[in-house]
């Protein structure tokens, strides 16, 4: 079968492409832009990616076109490619629906949902199952270093998926995760995000409750006990087994993580299960790991086995990823694009395990997500950046709010730039040996990481 994927370079759709290719299908695709790591993954798989959304991309396959066009949620009416699909009556389907029908329908699905931590937790959980010899399939919105790819069909009965609450397609406005029908579901956290499709927090909570409705009675929810919004969702109705996890010791949660040097001790119903060593710093990553251990236990992986495997987990690209060092200044990359994630990532970089460099932390932020650009987080962004020593913000031309005014509470540490080149020059001029530069964006940020390293080398 020939699949042509519209929006193929998105993290989710690139995973769909990898799964379809592994299943033996011919795969092609179109996208407006392509950047690593997904562009390199598609290239390595030999998948042809056409730039733009021209009708001619589909016409070249003949009058009948591809067997099916898989439509990413970035595609809107008016897009030339989708207009051609509709006018010609070509078969089309959303990415989540294709996945449900062709990959997930006979698998035990383990889904990881939440505003933050989905990619890391999904990657950790997949690695725990892999280390236990279960050969899981997976689809992650990033590239776990232990696997080198974002998706794999897998030979076992388990499939681990990052369960996104974003909408499915222009013709299906349900959240993606409603297609997955998990038997094990992690609910990491829940905050307001995606201002372009959700009017308020209650609308997102409703989608999360719809997800809960799809989990069978013999299935299990692994729920963050510290999140009041998730607790409110559960009060709307729950028909499955529920276990809670927390990184605070003074709770009644079934699963508790007590911090230790370079890791944490796991308590299950008050009884120690052993300790885990972690390569990834931060309280948020300890919570992610604890949730993964709890979910793995639901499918029969011994806790001790999971704790051993965590020590070998090597992280995920674009999650506090070291990109290089010049002149004693280290440059890190992170996908953080929500105030809570920004604050958590900065806190992680401050942890003792990461302070072999005793210098300052420079936060370099691109407010790129739809919610950020529309100003949905403008009022809370300054507080999330306060722990940085210097803050450099790229005031994109499509920003709908005044970055200088909204972040005025940062005082002299704020440097807002309308030009990327000026931002890079400013960082390079001020950085000195021992400093760490943390770049945060959910896009390619104009290749700023390489520009910063080059500017630091020339300084």
Percentage of residues in the chain having pLDDT higher than 90: 69
Q: 435 by DSSP, 3-state: which?
A: coil
Query: What percent of the residues of the chain are helix, what percent strand, and what percent coil, each to the nearest 5?
Result: 35, 25, 40
Q: Residue 153: what pLDDT?
A: 95
Task: Kindly give, in sequence order, each residue whose CB lies less than 8 Å from that of residue 173, ignoring residues fewer than 6 positions away.
Answer: 167, 197
**Is residue 62 within 8 Å of 15, Cβ to Cβ?**
no
Q: Average pLDDT for residues 56-70, to the nearest whole number?
A: 88
Instruction: Report d(CA 313, CA 293) in Å as an integer.
Output: 13
Q: Average pLDDT for residues 402-406, to the nearest whole number?
A: 89
**Residue scoring higher pLDDT (344 or 305):** 305
Which two three-digit tokens encode residue 14? 């690139």
For 194, other C-beta atoms within 10 Å of its C-beta total 19
Q: Residue 82: what pLDDT?
A: 97
Chain centroid, CA 165 distance in Å:
11
Nearest to 412 by CA among 430, 438, 424: 430
At 209, is the pLDDT very low, low, confident or very high (cuts 50, 70, 90)?
very high
**Residue scoring higher pLDDT (126 or 339):** 126
At 353, is the pLDDT very low, low, confident or very high (cuts 50, 70, 90)?
very low
At 358, is the pLDDT very low, low, confident or very high (cuts 50, 70, 90)?
low
Which secondary structure element, helix H or strand E, spans residue 451, and what is its range?
Answer: helix 448-458
Whether 344 has a pLDDT exceeding 90, the answer reads no
Q: Residue 279: what pLDDT?
A: 78
Nearest to 29 by CA among 66, 76, 84, 78: 66
Which two three-digit tokens encode residue 118? 């989905």
Tens-digit pLDDT profile for residues 119-128: 999 999 999 9
Q: Which residue has the tokens 């919105």?
A: 141
Buried/exposed code over 422-446 (b: 16+ C-beta within 10 A; e: otherwise): ebbbbbbeebeeebbbbbbbbeebb
**Residue scoring higher pLDDT (354 or 362):** 362
DSSP labels for 285-312?
HHHHHHHHHHHHHHTT--HHHHHHHHTT
Instruction: Report d(CA 402, CA 143) in Å as an integer.
Output: 34
Q: Is the dihedral of CA 293, 296, 298, 304 positive or negative?
A: negative
Distances (CA, A) of 112 to 184, 185, 196, 427: 9, 6, 22, 36
Distances (CA, A) of 288 to 14, 256, 283: 24, 12, 9
Set out the domains of the chain in order of their start, with CATH numbers. Answer: 2-95 (3.40.50.720), 106-310 (3.40.1190.10), 321-458 (3.90.190.20)
Percentage of residues in the chain having pLDDT higher than 70: 98
Tens-digit pLDDT profile for residues 101-153: 999 999 999 999 999 889 999 999 999 999 999 999 999 988 898 999 999 99
Distances (CA, A) of 145 to 10, 270, 312, 316, 338: 19, 33, 10, 5, 24
Whether 215 has a pLDDT exceeding 80, the answer reads yes
Nearest to 141 by CA among 155, 158, 121, 159: 121
Chain centroid, CA 376 distance in Å:
19
Mode of pairing for the β-strands spanning 271-277 and 263-268: antiparallel
Nearest to 111 by CA among 158, 169, 172, 173: 158
Of 44-58, 206-220, 270-284, 424-438, where does mean pLDDT reach its minimum? Answer: 270-284
Q: Average pLDDT for residues 272-292, to the nearest whole number?
A: 89
Q: 95 by DSSP, 3-state: which?
A: helix
Instruction: Report d(CA 53, CA 80) in Å as an integer.
Output: 6
Tell me, yes or no, if the pTM score tops 0.85. no
Average confidence score pLDDT of the chain: 91
Torsion of CA 337, 188, 152, 31, to 10 degrees: -30
Which two three-digit tokens encode residue 341? 């994630």
Whether 18 has a pLDDT exceeding 70, the answer reads yes
Whether 456 has a pLDDT exceeding 90, the answer reads yes
At 352, is the pLDDT very low, low, confident or very high (cuts 50, 70, 90)?
low
Per DSSP, 28 falls in state: E
Q: Residue 349: what pLDDT?
A: 85
CA 305-308-311 angle, to 5 degrees, is: 150
Instruction: Report d(CA 378, CA 381) in Å as an integer.
Output: 5
Instruction: Report d(CA 104, CA 23) in Å as an integer.
Output: 13
Q: Residue 357: what pLDDT?
A: 52
Q: Average pLDDT for residues 62-85, to the nearest whole number?
A: 93
**Is residue 338 within 8 Å of 411, Cβ to Cβ?**
no
Question: Half-sphere exposure (CA, 13 Å, Cβ side) for 15?
Answer: 25
Q: Residue 33: what pLDDT?
A: 82
Q: Which of 289-303, 353-367, 375-389, 438-452 has the highest mean pLDDT?
A: 289-303
Q: Residue 171: what pLDDT?
A: 97
């Amino acid at each position: 079968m020939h699949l042509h994927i519209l929006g193929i370079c998105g993290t989710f759709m690139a995973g769909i492409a990898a799964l379809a290719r592994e299943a033996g299908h011919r795969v092609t695709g179109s996208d407006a832009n392509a950047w690593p790591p997904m562009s390199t993954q598609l290239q390595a798989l030999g998948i042809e990616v056409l730039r733009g959304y021209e009708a001619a991309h589909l016409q070249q396959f003949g009058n009948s076109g591809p067997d099916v066009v898989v439509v990413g949620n970035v595609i809107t009416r008016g897009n030339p490619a989708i207009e051609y699909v509709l006018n010609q009556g070509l078969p089309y389907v959303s990415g989540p629906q294709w996945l449900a029908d062709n990959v997930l329908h006979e698998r035990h699905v383990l889904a990881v949902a939440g505003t933050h931590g989905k990619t890391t937790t999904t990657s950790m959980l997949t690695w725990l199952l892999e280390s236990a010899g279960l050969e899981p399939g997976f689809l992650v919105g990033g590239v776990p270093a232990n696997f080198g790819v974002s998706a794999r069909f897998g030979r076992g009965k388990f499939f681990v998926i990052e369960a996104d609450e974003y909408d499915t397609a222009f013709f299906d406005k349900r959240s993606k995760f409603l297609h997955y029908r998990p038997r094990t579901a992690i609910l990491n956290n829940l905050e307001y995000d995606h201002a372009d499709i959700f009017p308020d927090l209650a609308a997102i909570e409703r989608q999360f409750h719809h997800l809960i409705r799809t989990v069978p009675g013999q299935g299990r929810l692994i729920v963050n006990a510290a999140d009041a919004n998730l607790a409110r969702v559960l009060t709307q109705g729950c028909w499955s087994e529920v276990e809670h996890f927390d990184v605070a010791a003074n709770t009644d949660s079934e699963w508790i993580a007590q911090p230790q040097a370079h890791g944490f001790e796991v308590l299950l119903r008050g009884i120690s299960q052993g300790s885990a060593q972690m390569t990834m710093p931060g309280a948020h990553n300890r919570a992610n790991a604890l949730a993964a251990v709890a979910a793995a236990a639901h499918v029969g992986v011994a806790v001790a086995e999971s704790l051993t495997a965590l020590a070998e987990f090597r992280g995920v690209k674009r999650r506090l990823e070291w990109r290089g060092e010049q002149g004693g200044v280290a440059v890190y990359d992170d996908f953080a694009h929500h105030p809570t994630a920004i604050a958590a990532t900065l806190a992680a970089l401050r942890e003792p395990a990461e302070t072999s460099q005793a210098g300052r932390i420079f936060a370099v932020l691109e407010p790129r997500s739809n919610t950020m650009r529309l100003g949905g987080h403008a009022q809370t962004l300054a507080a999330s950046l306060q722990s940085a020593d210097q803050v450099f913000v790229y005031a994109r031309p499509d920003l709908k709010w005044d970055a200088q005014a909204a972040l005025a509470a940062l005082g002299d540490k704020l440097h807002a730039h309308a030009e990327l080149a000026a931002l890079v020059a400013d960082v390079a001029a001020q950085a000195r040996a021992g400093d760490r530069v943390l770049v945060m964006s959910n896009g390619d940020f104009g290749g700023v990481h390489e520009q910063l390293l080059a500017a630091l080398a020339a300084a």
